[in-house]
Chains A and B, each alone.
Chain A
Amino acid sequence: EPEVTQTPSHQVTQMGQEVILRCVPISNHLYFYWYRQILGQKVEFLVSFYNNEISEKSEIFDDQFSVERPDGSNFTLKIRSTKLEDSAMYFCASSERRLAGGPMSGDTQYFGPGTRLTVL
């Protein structure tokens, strides 16, 4: 069964350093997402991406964050200058089509296993 993969599984970095988290979405999916879960808190939406551009982003996704689809298979999240509060599990997700078209439609986002980011 196709699945979303993420690398690395665990990333440790010093505050102020740049990190890049990598994801390989399911191959026929067109919509990509990043979420994060700070320890003990709920899963929070960061950003969605379609057709090589951001379609929506949350207030968490400030100028320190960026996303890119550098080739036909990878989807990356870059944090330019990490802060202690960026420590969290970061989940990539993908879906085949957008949740649009009314309540008759709907699509499922499939999640990767996550990257645990620890900022020291």
Chain B
Amino acid sequence: DQQVKQNSPSLSVQEGRISILNCDYTNSMFDYFLWYKKYPAEGPTFLISISSIKDKNEDGRFTVFLNKSAKHLSLHIVPSQPGDSAVYFCAASVTFGNEKLTFGTGTRLTIIP
């Protein structure tokens, strides 16, 4: 069941540059999307979310873009900092009567000082 896919298992970016993490989904019923960051031996930490009525949401250094026609979302981090090194998960849900989050497989982001 690959309803949410993150095709890049890893990504390395220089400190100060932009990090772009991508996520694709297949279930057209999804209408709420979230990004979580995870360090080893810790739980997922919420970063930013977007609902399907928007195409962009920004919070500080983090911006999420949603392209519904392409069923694609991306997370931009700018400028990237060493503390951003972690695994990033995209997750999706259907808001009407369905609470569960469906997660992607994650992308390991490494920020190079």
Q: Which residues of A are in contact with B by a Cβ distance under 8 Å? A: 4, 6, 31, 33, 35, 41-45, 48, 55-56, 58, 91, 93, 95, 98-106, 108-114, 116
Contact = CB atoms under 8 A, between A and B. Distances in A.
**Interface residues of B, dominant DSSP:** loop
Interface residues of B, number: 30
Contact of A105 (B43, B95, B98): B95
B43 to A, nearest CB: 4
Nearest to B36: A111
A48 B99 CA distance: 7
* Residue of A31, A106, A111, A114 with most partner-chain B CB within 10 A: A106
Interface stretch (B12-20, B69-77, B78-86, B103-111): B103-111
Given A103-B95, A111-B36, A4 B101 contact: no
Interface string B27-70: 00001101010000111111001011100000000000000000
Nearest to A95: B99
B44 A106 contact: no
A44 B91 CA distance: 11
B100 A56 contact: yes
A55 B97 CA distance: 9
A108 B46 contact: yes
A111 B43 contact: yes
A106 B95 contact: yes
A109 to B, nearest CB: 6
A92 to B, nearest CB: 8
